[in-house]
Structure 1
Amino acid sequence: MNHRLPQLIAGRVMLVLFMAATAVPFLSLFTTALAPQNTTPHGISWPSHPHWHNFVDAFHAADLMPLLGSSLLIVLGVVPVALALAAAAGYGLAVLGFPGARIVFGLLLVGLTVPTESLITPLYYQLESMGLLNTRWALILPLMGLFMPFSVVWMRTFYLSLPKELTEAASVDGAGPWTVFRRVHLPLARPALSSLAILLFLWTWNQFLLAIALIDDPAKRTVAGALGAFQGHYGTNVVLLSAGSLLIMLPAVLVFVIFQRHFVTALLQGAVKG
């Protein structure tokens, strides 16, 4: 046991360092948001008189209420459909083993390597020809396509971790592929689907680049996409900009904190299977 003590200590030290590297920027942003407006705080220092009204001022200055509604509509358009397609496609690749499944899986892996920035120009002209530019569909449809490679690979990996005996037993009882998927695999995939839903929500909510490139109307963008316009108007007011950034991040942080148990459960299931 003693020979493992240095490894345990090193692991704890690395964990503390990673936590500090993650927490320090947020702490700096928070203390800056409480400073007097039209000032430029340096470093991390708690203001002697915290200006909590900065958050209210930032909320009204950025007109965040309609933007929150727009982000919610985009999330509702992306996440449920992406989950349904990923659950079905992952099942097909992992269990059904249809001809060409390996080729499809290889193409999905290639899709994981394509940077989003390289797709903006062709997406812009394609959506323009379809008459969808400057609408929420210009963000919903591309995001569903961009999320598919990771989502399908995620679900395929989960289905492969399930015992094959479950599928064989259901088949012996006369269940077809659709029944096996709906009655056996889908209920067991709830942790994987829940964690994937969290990731898709965070990625959609925080989408910035596509929102400002494909939608001109700030009211139709995501909240993160509207941050560009907010910064343009209040770029010199670092305090107000910090408060607005924290307000935009708050829903995503709350969703992750509330549903993190499902996320950790899915990760642990994969680790135990290995």
Structure 2
Amino acid sequence: MADTLTAPTETAPTTTPTERVPTVIVDDAHVTYTVQGAGGKPQGPPLARILNRRKARAATRKVHAVKGVSFVAYKGEAIGLIGTNGSGKSTLLKAIAGLLPTNKGHIYTQGQPSLLGVNAALMGDLTGERNVILGGLAMGMTREEIHARYQDIVDFSGINEKGDFISLPMRTYSSGMGARLRFAIAAAKSHEVLLIDEALATGDAKFRRRSQERINELRAEAGTVFLVSHSNGTIRETCDRAIWLEAGTILMDGPANEVVDAYEAHTNKK
């Protein structure tokens, strides 16, 4: 689980404008998780396939998703995580958020990171309005703060542009509508570390523009943003730094445009 960076007991020196303040330190992190039902496709005659299917469901396989990753993130940075499917991007975000433990190495964070993903859990049987309230409370906002920001959250999400969807159960929403509302709720509060997994890929150009503007505001408020996206254009537009992961290891870490250029050149060769 991610550890919290704690201040030293002695008086720390005053931070200068040029000093880089770390918010996340990943030190030789390894993350392994178990996959259930990893026995492969059943073979043979019908009865054998039934028996083999049961064995397959019971089988497990360990996946070493993150292998010795180390880096430091600083206040005010927007960092894009790129790489092919299965490269360890989402697993690394969950480890930084404290949702997955490290098997080796350590992850230290300033404050409690907030993970926002397309599959972030809101309650499908409740209306969008009730989910805004519950989501705000879960982030530590008071009811007064939620009430004051409620209309801004709805307007930011854009889900009411074609009807009164905020009063409908969330199970009636498209995946894009749900993702936009989740981002709008999360963006209503400042975060020391905000982790975003593909949420910006679900909106139209107007929503992506609003999202990028809000990310810039979070960075200006001395926050750090991590963004996982399969859209290289989004990484270029939103992030100033990028980390390229492949097979659980870092291949490149540097300015976003340079890393994306190298990644595109590599993938275009295949």
Q: What TM-score results when the alignment is normalised by the length of structure 2?
A: 0.23
Higher helix share: 1
Q: Report 1 or 2 for greater relative contact order, CA contacts < 8 Å, sequence distance ≥ 6.
A: 1
The structure having more radius of gyration, on CA atoms, is: 1
